[in-house]
């Protein structure tokens, strides 16, 4: 009897664990919100760097990692770290993730709600511009996967995300990464396009690639921690 109860408990625990993991990576569905808080893993998001020349490849110092938030924030909260040295005066650090289960060839109105840890005041002085006020946060989506491509000795991206604080066909400007403080300490900041939804059209397979990144005019080291990415979407008429 005891062994039977133990087996049932084990099976129940396994089922709960599977369900929790499944819910963590449930694909975006029409009319329903998508959420990533990164508390179990990166939830399928991957990082990349573009907009620099091949001669600068060894000095961009790009890295990404899954780790806790920096002090003085809650270091037990997980996030995705991205970091690079902007030697090109135009570096674009981005995250991407594919979502499925959408209606094929359908326009979706997307609202992004992004939380990240930044330490950069908006009025500080830096090479090329302010570390906070000259690094622009963008978000968007496309039916094709955003990938890094090499053309004429320069690494760029195959989707139109715009340049610096200018928007592109596949990305919208959410603001900069300034904390609003006067000191350089990490704080959680939130950015959203709730007042200007972004429209993207799903592929013939009912898929979209989400894109979140920073377009930098600050010629220095930028280190950010993405702690939440929420997307609300619904089919447009």
Residue 72 belongs to what domain range?
A: 28-235
Q: pTM for the complete prediction?
A: 0.83
Q: Is residue 211 part of a domain?
A: yes
Q: Is residue 122 part of a domain?
A: yes
Phi and psi for 192 in degrees, rounded to 5? -150, 155
Cβ atoms of 156 and 135 within 8 Å: the answer is: no
Q: CATH code at 127?
A: 2.60.120.200
Q: Is residue 14 part of a domain?
A: no
* Cα(186)–Cα(194) distance, integer angstroms: 25
Q: Is residue 23 part of a domain?
A: no
Q: How many domains does the chain have?
A: 1
Q: Is residue 15 part of a domain?
A: no
pLDDT at position 86 is 87
* Cα(206)–Cα(224) distance, integer angstroms: 31
In the chain, the DSSP E strands lie at: 34-36, 46-50, 52-53, 63-68, 78-85, 92-99, 107-118, 135-142, 148-151, 154-157, 171-176, 187-192, 198-201, 208-216, 221-235
Question: Which of 112, 105, 127, 132 has its CA nearest to residue 187?
Answer: 132
Q: How far is CA 169 from CA 138, 143, 162, 172, 197, in A?
A: 12, 12, 7, 8, 13
pLDDT at position 89 is 79
Strand partners, 226: 80, 116
How many Cα atoms are found within 13 Å in the side-chain-facing hemisphere of 127?
10
Strand partners, 173: 138
Tokens of 88: 């090109």
In this predicted model, what pLDDT tens digit does every residue of 62-116 receive, in sequence order?
Answer: 999 999 999 999 999 999 999 999 887 789 999 999 998 889 999 999 999 999 9
In which residue ranges of the chain is pLDDT below 70?
A: 1-32, 122-133, 234-237
Question: Which of 91, 228, 72 has its CA nearest to residue 161?
Answer: 91
């Amino acid at each position: 009897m005891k062994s039977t109860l133990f087996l049932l408990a084990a099976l129940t625990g396994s089922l709960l664990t599977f369900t929790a993991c499944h819910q963590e990576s449930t694909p975006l569905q029409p009319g329903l919100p998508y959420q990533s808080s990164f508390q179990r893993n990166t939830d399928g998001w991957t990082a990349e760097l573009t907009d620099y020349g091949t001669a600068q490849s060894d000095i961009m110092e790009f890295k990404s990692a899954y780790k806790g938030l920096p002090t003085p924030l809650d270091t037990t909260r997980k996030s995705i770290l991205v970091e690079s040295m902007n030697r090109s005066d135009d570096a674009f650090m981005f995250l991407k993730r594919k979502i499925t289960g959408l209606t094929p060839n359908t326009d979706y109105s997307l609202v992004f709600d992004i939380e990240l840890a930044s330490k950069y005041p908006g009025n500080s002085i830096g090479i090329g511009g302010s570390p906070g006020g000259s690094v622009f946060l963008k978000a968007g989506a496309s039916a094709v996967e955003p990938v890094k491509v090499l053309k004429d000795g320069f690494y760029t991206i195959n989707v139109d995300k715009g340049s610096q604080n200018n928007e592109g066909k596949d990305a919208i400007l959410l603001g900069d990464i300034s904390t609003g403080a006067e000191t350089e300490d990490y704080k959680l900041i939130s950015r959203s396009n709730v007042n200007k939804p972004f429209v993207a059209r799903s592929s013939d397979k009912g898929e979209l690639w989400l894109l979140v990144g920073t377009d930098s005019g600050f010629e220095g080291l930028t280190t950010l921690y993405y702690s939440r990415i929420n997307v609300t979407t619904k089919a447009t008429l």
